[in-house]
């Protein structure tokens, strides 16, 4: 006797995917028995739990129904009125009272937790947040019925810029740049095309303190380039004053780093971007600050008393309660820091004075939203408390109702676990959307030959199934970022040589670059046709290569771009931005096997996935072949783009 349940088959579960609170869901399973089997029909129980930090558990009896061949059992349930996870499984109990001695068994989710068809097991699944092993329940994401994400973010092409490495101001002066901060570790490159530092200043360890002088004015001067790529969103890595070139060690949340410009330059950038239909999203780093900051002030760089100085006994600081600083038995000062990095002291996010500083009437979020920002990408948001995130999003929406709150979460955010609990990430209360690293892993893994198209489709469909449509269509679908090797390098097949010294010397061979470029064009064609907000990491369109940090953060090679690759990015980006069905149309996989992947985006009676009437093609079909490295896109049956090696 066997049983079947498939989360992506409407015969077994409807409606598909994540649902609003209070939705009625029908769940069914089929029990197969050999033809002529005289045993009586079994009893099938539906077990379920729902909640997030704590779960309510119950059992529902299913109702048998006539079916061809297999015995069919179903139950109809109204989903909870509060957002959270609804986890379920079936138990098949043979009728022992009538002589069936078959052992009872359970129908549970697949061992990889990617949804779809379940499997049978002698034991019930483990639904605890930190469950070990391979027995898991099926999942339904239940989200706030009022959850809405900004319409401008849905399906928009996003362009990510690492500010120091994108473009200099025409008036850049290397000596003036060097004079902006008296820091023995800081160096400023005279030449834009020089190699990034990977060793550190003489006598010091690597500290990411070499600068090239990219600026906000430089970015503004290149907005036409963004427009040529069809970009509607400009996402900036941190721009606030910091010691390092990556600026994740914030020194002053209310001041633009002087090397980038000033607040007037930020306002000018936002105005110029808006004139081209581009929104600006800032990177917010709120789990830690820099040790060389106005707030911690370990080295006395800033006027006033920082938290570290109070701990040294040098006076009172308004920031002391933000940090966990203590003395050891031998008298040394130690403090909590982000992942053990001493230059990144951790912040107590639930400290009320810290939250007032960020969320208050004169707070950081209001300050930058009122000056032109359209939202924030939250650094390591899975390390921020849920309550803090709920206040943050409420603050952002209170200042600017159409602003975006985008989280850095690397896994499936609907069931993300950290600090021993499922997190409140995609239920309508904290994040609008998240970064799409699972998309990157699925697409680059398939194109690189790590697994076939069917396996890639399982990964992609799992996200589509688990994410609320509002998040799914606004979430980043990225191929690269400042935290991962360049997409071209990954797709070239080049192996990471290991340490930074070896990475600095390694360049792609001609054959590796050719292979990587051909695969990257297919990847971008797929990305630009797929749902979500396709993100272009600066320089990928130019053919930039590089392994991990800092080699994925080299300067943009203006005038030296790979012209063929750039042309592909431009034509695909414009196609995306100018075709409504590609921005918010519905999705269906047509083929996913071996080397071939095909899907369609479509309108239902002229309306998109949100019921909004859209002009343009009613259907776009994309067909991709990793072996031939080809892509073909058709709109209403007419070819609009073909890529061949």
Per residue in 300-323, pLDDT tens? 999 999 999 999 999 999 999 999
379 catalytic, yes or no?
yes
Specify whether the CB–CB gap between 369 and 403 falls below 8 A: yes
309 phi/psi in degrees, rounded to 5: -70, -35
- From the number of C-beta atoms within 10 Å of its C-beta (0-12, 13-18, 19+), residue 618 rates as middle
CB-CB neighbours of 393 under 10 Å: 21
DSSP assignment of 256-316? E-TTT--HHHHHHHHHHHHHTT-EEEEEE--SB--SSSTTT-TT--SSS--HHHHHTTS--
Query: Which one is catalytic: 30, 197, 310, 408?
Result: 408
Residues 216 and 236: their CA atoms lie apart, in Å, by 10
Angle at which helices 437-448 and 510-529 cross, to 10°: 130
In the chain, the number of structural domains is 5
Query: Which one is catalytic: 291, 379, 461, 562?
Result: 379
Residues 6 or more apart whose CB falls under 8 angstroms from that of 124 comprise 47, 89, 91, 106, 108, 135
The pair of structure tokens assigned to 638 is: 């007419």
Write out pLDDT tens, residues 394-452. 999 999 999 999 999 999 999 999 999 999 999 999 999 999 999 999 999 999 999 99
Res 66 pLDDT > 70: no
- From the number of C-beta atoms within 10 Å of its C-beta (0-12, 13-18, 19+), residue 331 rates as exposed
Provide the CATH number for the domain around residue 41: 2.60.40.10
CB-CB neighbours of 441 under 10 Å: 17
Res 33 pLDDT > 90: no
- Residue 100's pLDDT is 73
Q: What is the mean pLDDT of residues 105-125?
A: 97
Residues 6 or more apart whose CB falls under 8 angstroms from that of 186 comprise 178, 209, 210, 211, 243
- Residue 38's pLDDT is 67
Within 13 Å and on the Cβ side, how many CA atoms surround 461?
22
- Residue 64's pLDDT is 86
Please, which pLDDT band fits residue 488 given cuts at 50, 70 and 90? very high
DSSP assignment of 104-127? PEEEEB-TTS--SB-EEESS----
Residues 27 and 134 in one domain: yes
Q: What is the mean pLDDT of residues 191-219?
A: 94
Please, which pLDDT band fits residue 35 given cuts at 50, 70 and 90? low
In angstroms and rounded to an integer, the radius of gyration of the C-alpha atoms of the chain is: 27
The pair of structure tokens assigned to 520 is: 């990257």
Residues 331 and 382 in one domain: no
Residues 139 and 190 in one domain: no
Residues 167 and 137 in one domain: no
Sign of CA dihedral 605, 610, 612, 617: negative
User: CA nearest 227: which of 498, 530, 574, 538?
Assistant: 574
408 catalytic, yes or no?
yes
Res 67 pLDDT > 70: no
Look at residue 62 and tell me if it is in a domain.
Answer: yes
Last residue of a domain, one of 325, 343, 361: 343
Residues listed for the chain? 645
Q: Which residues of 473-501 are buried (b: 16+ CB within 10 A; e: fewer)?
A: bbbbbbbbbbebbbbbbbbbebeeeeebe
Average pLDDT in the chain: 96
- Residue 164's pLDDT is 98
Q: What is the mean pLDDT of residues 581-596?
A: 98
Residues 126 and 191 in one domain: no
Look at residue 312 and tell me if it is in a domain.
Answer: yes
Write out pLDDT tens, residues 496-518. 999 999 999 999 999 999 999 99
Residues 320 and 363 in one domain: no
Which value, to the nearest 10 degrees, does the dihedral of the CA atoms of residues 201, 204, 205, 206 take? Answer: -20
CA end-to-end distance (rounded Å), the chain: 51
Specify whether the CB–CB gap between 195 and 247 falls below 8 A: no
Residues 264 and 294 in one domain: no
User: CA nearest 624: which of 488, 518, 490, 525?
Assistant: 525
- Residue 189's pLDDT is 97
Look at residue 504 and tell me if it is in a domain.
Answer: no
Write out pLDDT tens, residues 217-237. 999 999 999 999 999 999 999
Residues 185 and 123 in one domain: no
Look at residue 16 and tell me if it is in a domain.
Answer: yes
Is 207 strand, coil or helix?
A: coil
Q: How many angstroms separate the Cα of 282 from the Cα of each of 202, 279, 373, 377?
A: 33, 10, 7, 6
Q: Are strands 476-478 and 533-537 parallel, antiparallel or unpaired?
A: parallel
Residues 359 and 330 in one domain: no
CA 640 from chain centre, in angstroms, equals 29
Is 336 strand, coil or helix?
A: coil
Percent of the chain with pLDDT over 90: 93
Look at residue 596 and tell me if it is in a domain.
Answer: yes
Residues 334 and 374 in one domain: no
Residues 6 or more apart whose CB falls under 8 angstroms from that of 338 comprise 287, 288, 344, 345, 346, 380
Look at residue 573 and tell me if it is in a domain.
Answer: no
Res 573 pLDDT > 80: yes
Within 13 Å and on the Cβ side, how many CA atoms surround 82?
8
Q: What are all long-range contacts of 440-443, with beta carbons under 8 Å and residues at least 24 apart?
A: 440/477, 440/478, 440/479, 440/480, 440/484, 443/479, 443/523, 443/526, 443/527
Look at residue 486 and tell me if it is in a domain.
Answer: no
Q: Which of 102-106, 332-336, 467-471 has the lowest mean pLDDT?
A: 102-106
The pair of structure tokens assigned to 430 is: 């904290």
DSSP 8-class letter at 237: P
Residues 262 and 303 in one domain: no
Last residue of a domain, one of 435, 457, 490: 435
Residues 219 and 325 in one domain: no
146 phi/psi in degrees, rounded to 5: -90, 5
Q: How many angstroms separate the Cα of 635 from the Cα of each of 532, 582, 621, 623?
A: 19, 10, 7, 12
Q: Which residues of 516-541 are buried (b: 16+ CB within 10 A; e: fewer)?
A: bbbbbbbbbbbbbbbbbbbbbbbbbb
Parent domain of 93: 2-143
Look at residue 274 and tell me if it is in a domain.
Answer: no
Residues 426 and 616: their CA atoms lie apart, in Å, by 31
Specify whether the CB–CB gap between 481 and 434 falls below 8 A: no
């Amino acid at each position: 006797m066997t049983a079947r349940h498939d989360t992506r088959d409407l015969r077994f579960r409807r409606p598909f995917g994540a649902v609003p609170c209070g939705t009625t869901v029908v769940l069914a399973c089929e029990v197969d028995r050999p033809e002529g089997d005289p045993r009586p029909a079994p009893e099938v129980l539906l077990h379920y739990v729902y909640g997030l930090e704590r779960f309510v558990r119950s059992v529902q009896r299913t109702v048998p129904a006539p079916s061809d061949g297999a015995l069919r059992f179903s139950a109809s349930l109204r989903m909870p009125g509060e957002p959270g996870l609804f986890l379920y499984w079936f138990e098949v109990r043979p009728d022992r009272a009538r002589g069936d001695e078959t052992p009872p068994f359970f129908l549970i989710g697949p061992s990889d937790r990617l949804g779809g068809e379940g499997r049978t097991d002698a034991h019930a699944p483990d639904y605890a947040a930190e469950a070990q092993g391979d027995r898991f329940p099926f999942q339904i994401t239940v989200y706030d019925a009022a959850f809405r994400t900004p319409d401008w973010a849905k399906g928009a092409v996003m362009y990510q810029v690492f500010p120091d490495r994108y473009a200099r101001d025409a008036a850049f002066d290397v000596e003036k740049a060097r004079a902006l901060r008296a820091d023995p570790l800081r160096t400023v490159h005279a030449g834009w095309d020089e190699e990034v530092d990977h060793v550190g200043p003489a006598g010091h360890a690597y500290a990411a303190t070499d600068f090239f002088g990219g600026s906000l004015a430089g970015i503004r001067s290149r907005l036409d380039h963004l427009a040529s790529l069809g970009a509607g969103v400009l996402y900036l890595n941190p721009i606030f004053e910091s010691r390092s070139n990556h600026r994740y060690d914030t020194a002053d949340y209310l001041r633009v780093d002087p090397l980038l410009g000033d607040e007037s330059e930020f306002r000018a950038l936002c105005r110029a971007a808006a004139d081209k239909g581009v929104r600006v999203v800032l990177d917010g780093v709120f789990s830690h600050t820099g040790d060389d900051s106005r707030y911690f002030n370990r080295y006395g760089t800033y006027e006033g008393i920082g938290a570290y100085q109070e701990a040294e006994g040098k006076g009172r600081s308004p920031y002391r309660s933000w940090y966990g600083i203590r003395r050891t038995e031998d008298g040394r000062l130690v403090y909590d820091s982000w992942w053990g990095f001493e230059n990144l002291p951790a912040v107590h996010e639930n400290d009320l004075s810290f939250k007032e500083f960020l969320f208050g009437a004169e707070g950081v979020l209001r300050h930058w939203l009122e000056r032109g920002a359209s939202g924030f990408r939250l650094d390591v948001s899975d390390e921020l408390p849920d309550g803090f995130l709920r206040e943050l999003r409420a603050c952002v929406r209170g200042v600017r109702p159409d602003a975006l709150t985008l989280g850095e979460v690397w896994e499936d955010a609907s069931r993300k676990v950290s600090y021993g609990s499922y997190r409140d990430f995609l239920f309508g209360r904290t994040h609008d959307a998240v970064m799409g690293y699972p998309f990157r892993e699925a697409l680059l893994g398939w194109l690189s030959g790590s697994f076939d198209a069917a396996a890639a489709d399982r990964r992609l469909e799992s996200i589509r199934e688990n994410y609320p449509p509002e998040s799914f269509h606004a979430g980043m679908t990225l191929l690269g970022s400042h935290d991962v090797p360049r997409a071209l390098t990954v797709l070239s097949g080049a192996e990471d040589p290991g340490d930074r010294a070896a990475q600095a010397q390694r360049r792609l061979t001609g054959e590796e670059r050719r292979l990587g470029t051909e695969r990257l064009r297919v990847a971008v064609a797929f990305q630009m046709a797929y749902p979500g907000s396709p993100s272009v990491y600066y320089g990928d369109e130019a053919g930039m290569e590089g392994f991990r940090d800092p080699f994925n953060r080299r300067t943009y090679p203006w005038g030296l771009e790979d012209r063929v690759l750039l042309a592909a990015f431009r034509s695909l980006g414009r196609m995306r931005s100018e075709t409504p069905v590609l921005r918010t149309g519905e999705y269906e996989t047509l083929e996913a096997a071996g080397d071939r992947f095909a899907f369609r985006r479509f309108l239902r009676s002229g309306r998109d996935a949100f019921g909004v009437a859209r002009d343009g093609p009613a259907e776009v079909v994309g067909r991709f072949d990793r072996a031939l490295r080809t892509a073909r896109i058709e709109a209403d049956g007419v070819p609009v783009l073909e890529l061949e090696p």
